[in-house]
A and B are shown apart, each in its own frame.
Chain A
C-alpha cells in the first residue's frame, strides 16, 4: 500500500505570493491533517479534514487554509507569504476519523522557502 504522498517536495516563493501544497493520503484513509515544522516552534498542528469538512484547527492565522476533496486528497493554501512561513509542511492521514485519537501516517513533507 502506498504511503502518504506530498507534492511538491521543495518550493521557493517570494514574500507576498501565495502557495498551494498537495497531499494524497493512504488509500482508504479519510482523515487528513496538516502540520508546520520549524526549528524554533517545533511541530505545530494547522488543521484536520474528514469527509471534506474541516473538523479541527490549530492556532494559525486565516492566511492558512485548506480543503479536502471527495477522494480524500487535500490541499493547503498559504496566501500573502511571509518570511516566517518558511518551514517543512507535513501532511498526515489516519484511518480513524481523527488524528487526535488515532495513529497518523505522515508524508515526507514539503520544504517551503520564502525569500
Chain B
C-alpha cells in the first residue's frame, strides 16, 4: 500500500507558466516532507522541504504547500523553465518509536516546453 502517492506520472507545461506537482499521503503521522528532482543518469537533488507544523514554504521559484486536513502536498514552480524538466519526487518522514523511515512517491515527470 502506497503511503505517498504522486498520481500524475507526467506533466507538460509551457515555459513561463506555473507548474503544479501534487502529492497525497495516507499516514497522518508524517512530520516532515521533502521534494527532490532527478535528471536522467544523475542522483536526486534536494529542492525544498516543509515541516508538518507549517502550511507553506517558499524558496525562490519553488513553493511547497501543505494541506494537512486533506493530506495533500503540492509543489509550485513559477515561472517554469526548460531546465526544470526532470522527474520530481515527494518524500515524507515517518517514525515508529525511535526508528525513522523516509517514504518516496513514485515521481512525476515534468516537461517544460520552450
Q: Which residues of A contact B (CB under 8 A)?
A: 4, 33, 42-45, 48, 55-59, 90, 92, 98-101, 103-109
Judged by a CB distance under 8 angstroms, whether B60 is at the interface is: no
In the complex, the answer to whether A92 meets B43 with C-beta atoms within 8 Å is yes
Are B101 and A99 closer than 8 Å at their CB atoms?
A: no
Besides A43-B91, A100-B102, 9 new A-B residue pairs in contact (Cβ under 8 A), listed by A number = A33-B102, A42-B89, A57-B101, A101-B32, A101-B49, A101-B93, A103-B49, A104-B46, A106-B42
User: Is the CB–CB distance between B104 and A45 below 8 Å?
Assistant: yes
Interface residues in chain B, defined as those with a beta carbon under 8 Å from any beta carbon in chain A: 32, 41-46, 49, 89, 91, 93, 99-107
Report A-chain residues with C-beta under 8 Å of the C-beta of B102: 33, 45, 48, 56, 58, 99-100
Question: Nearest A residue to B47 by beta-carbon distance?
Answer: A103
Bound state CA distance, A106 and B42, in angstroms?
8
List B contacts of A58 (CB < 8 A).
101-102
B105 vs chain A, min Cβ distance (A): 7
